[in-house]
């Protein structure tokens, strides 16, 4: 049954209102489904306006979803792929594109398979969406920070003091703990834990890592991009090709983000993680070994590597940073390092710098999207214990999870007596 067709008996006529706490993608999707199903909806958000993280994420190009085959798409959610697929089966990547088109905004598929609005911007999409919600009767309450419950009612801090609300149902969509300045600060964790929800610790996802560069390397190469490289966690044979950036403290960027979950988990288990960098992914190992071993005459090793293999700049710096002098002068060891340079990572960057977070309300504490310990309270988005890589997967699951929570809230209210 679609969210729009969930049987809700005259909720508007009875004055029944639903609270959505959190005005990000998941909360707004829940509000849309609730309003379409006949509920009167109030959206509360701590910030001066909704969708602030959504807008910031779209500054470099609003990646809304991905066009890869659906089974591959649905497998991107790691240990919780089965649970997330339940949301996606009802509102997957094709449905996301159709929904955006329904807002009057066209999309296109980039060369990587990522899907973007044609103007690459988030603001027009958000404006059209908010117009639709307001036309549907959704009311917005800004600068309302949720403080938990008081005598069964929602408690908010507002510019005019504390306020209470007693909705018939509540959808919490408060985000994870990345980008606290935009509202996702994880302050909800103790509030839900106190109600009996099992919450996995919030940890950084799609994040950078630290490795303790030498002052010499940092001063020369911090900020330098590493393009046309490949990366693998030590022990894995499959390398991912892409690019990342050397930072003051370590590494970050799209290629690092793609491996951030296993890197983070390896550090948690072992205290560190070793990644291997293929500095020459377009050259096979035999060719690299042959070029390294080729007589170089009076040329220095640096000149030889630059001339024969294009190893210079930050790539040359990494070799000297990660290899001993003895290894640099051993042709066989050097050739192996060029195809799998070991780099020790010691910890993730702080969660507030991460693109997203993992952890949150465990699925075992939920009946669908509803908290088992708090009937009538539903959770959606990054509050739930799942994670995804960048590339449109995060946003699609937030959309889909929000719609699922909204639909389930409608169905729950329809079952209540009176």
Q: Which residues of 384-404 are buried (b: 16+ CB within 10 A; e: fewer)?
A: bbbbbbbbbbbbbbbbbbbbb
Return the pLDDT at 2: 38
What pTM, to 2 d.p., does this model score?
0.90
Q: Which two tokens stand for residue 166?
A: 């007693």
Vertex 307: Cα angle to 302 and 308 (nearest 5): 105
- Kindly state the helix (H) or strand (E) to which residue 24 belongs, with its residue range: none
Mean pLDDT, contiguous 10-residue spans, the chain (418 residues): 36 66 97 96 96 81 94 95 97 97 96 93 95 97 96 94 95 93 91 96 96 96 96 94 96 94 96 98 96 92 94 96 94 96 97 94 97 97 95 95 98 89
Buried b (16+ CB within 10 A) or exposed e, 187-203: bbbebbeeeebebeebb
- List phi, psi (to 5°) of 248: -60, -30
E strand or H helix at 272, and its extent? none
Phi, psi of 288, rounded to the nearest 5 degrees: -60, -45
Domain ranges of the chain: 3-205+356-415, 209-348
How many Cβ atoms from other residues are within 10 Å of residue 347's Cβ? 18
Neighbours of 16 (CB within 10 A): 18
Superfamily name with CATH number, domain 3-205+356-415: FAD/NAD(P)-binding domain (3.50.50.60)
* pLDDT at residue 5 in the model: 37
CA angle 370, 376, 381 (to 5 degrees): 40
In angstroms, the CA 370 to CA 247 distance is 41
Spatial distance between the Cα atoms of 74 and 88, rounded to a whole number of angstroms:
7
Residue 262, judged by CB atoms within 10 A of its CB (0-12, 13-18, 19+), counts as: middle
Asked if residues 355 and 204 have their Cβ atoms less than 8 Å apart, the reply is no
For residue 362, what pLDDT is reported?
A: 98
Rg, the chain, Cα only: 25
Q: In whole angstroms, what is the distance from residue 156 CA to residue 144 CA?
A: 6
CA atoms of 389 and 387, how far apart (whole Å):
7
Residue 15: per-residue pLDDT:
52
Q: Where are the alpha helices (DSSP H) in 208-300?
A: 215-221, 254-258, 260-270, 285-293
Q: What confidence score (pLDDT) does residue 58 get?
A: 64
pLDDT value at residue 253: 94
């Amino acid at each position: 049954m679609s969210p729009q067709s969930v049987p809700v008996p005259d909720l508007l006529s009875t004055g029944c209102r639903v609270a959505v706490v959190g005005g990000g993608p998941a909360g707004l999707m829940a509000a849309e489904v609730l309003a379409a199903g006949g509920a009167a909806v109030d959206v509360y958000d701590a910030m001066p306006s909704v969708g602030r993280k959504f807008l910031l994420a779209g500054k470099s190009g609003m990646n809304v979803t991905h066009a890869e085959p659906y089974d591959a798409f649905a497998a991107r959610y790691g240990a919780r792929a089965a649970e997330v697929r339940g949301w996606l089966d009802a509102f997957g990547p094709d449905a996301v594109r159709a929904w955006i088109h329904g807002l009057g905004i066209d999309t296109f598929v980039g060369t990587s398979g990522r899907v973007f609005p044609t103007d690459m911007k988030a603001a027009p999409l958000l404006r059209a969406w908010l117009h639709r919600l307001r036309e549907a009767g959704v009311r917005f309450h800004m600068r309302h920070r949720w403080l938990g419950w008081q005598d069964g009612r929602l408690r908010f801090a507002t510019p005019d003091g504390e306020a209470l609300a007693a909705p018939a149902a509540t959808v919490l969509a408060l985000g994870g703990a990345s980008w606290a300045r935009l509202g996702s600060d994880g302050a909800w964790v103790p509030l839900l834990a106190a109600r009996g929800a099992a919450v996995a610790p919030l940890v950084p996802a799609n994040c950078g890592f630290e490795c303790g560069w030498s002052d010499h390397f940092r001063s020369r190469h911090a900020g330098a991009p590493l393009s046309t490289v490949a990366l693998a966690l030590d022990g894995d044979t499959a390398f991912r090709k892409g690019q990342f950036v050397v930072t003051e403290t370590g590494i970050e960027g799209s290629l690092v983000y793609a491996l951030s979950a296993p890197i983070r988990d390896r550090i948690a288990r072992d205290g560190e993680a070793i990644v291997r960098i293929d500095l020459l992914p377009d050259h096979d190992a035999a060719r690299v070994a042959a070029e390294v071993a080729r007589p170089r005459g009076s040329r220095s090793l640096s000149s030889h590597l630059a001339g024969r293999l294009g190893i210079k700049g930050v790539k040359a710096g990494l070799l000297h940073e990660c290899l001993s002098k003895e290894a640099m002068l051993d042709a066989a060891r050097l050739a192996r390092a060029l195809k799998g340079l070991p780099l020790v990572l010691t910890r993730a960057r702080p969660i507030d710098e991460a693109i997203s977070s993992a952890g949150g309300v465990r699925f075992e504490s939920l009946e669908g999207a509803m908290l088992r310990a708090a009937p009538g309270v539903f959770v959606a988005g990054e509050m739930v214990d799942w994670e995804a890589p960048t590339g449109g997967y995060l946003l699609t699951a937030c959309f889909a999870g929000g719609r699922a929570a909204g639909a389930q809230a409608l169905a729950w209210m329809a079952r209540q007596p009176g």
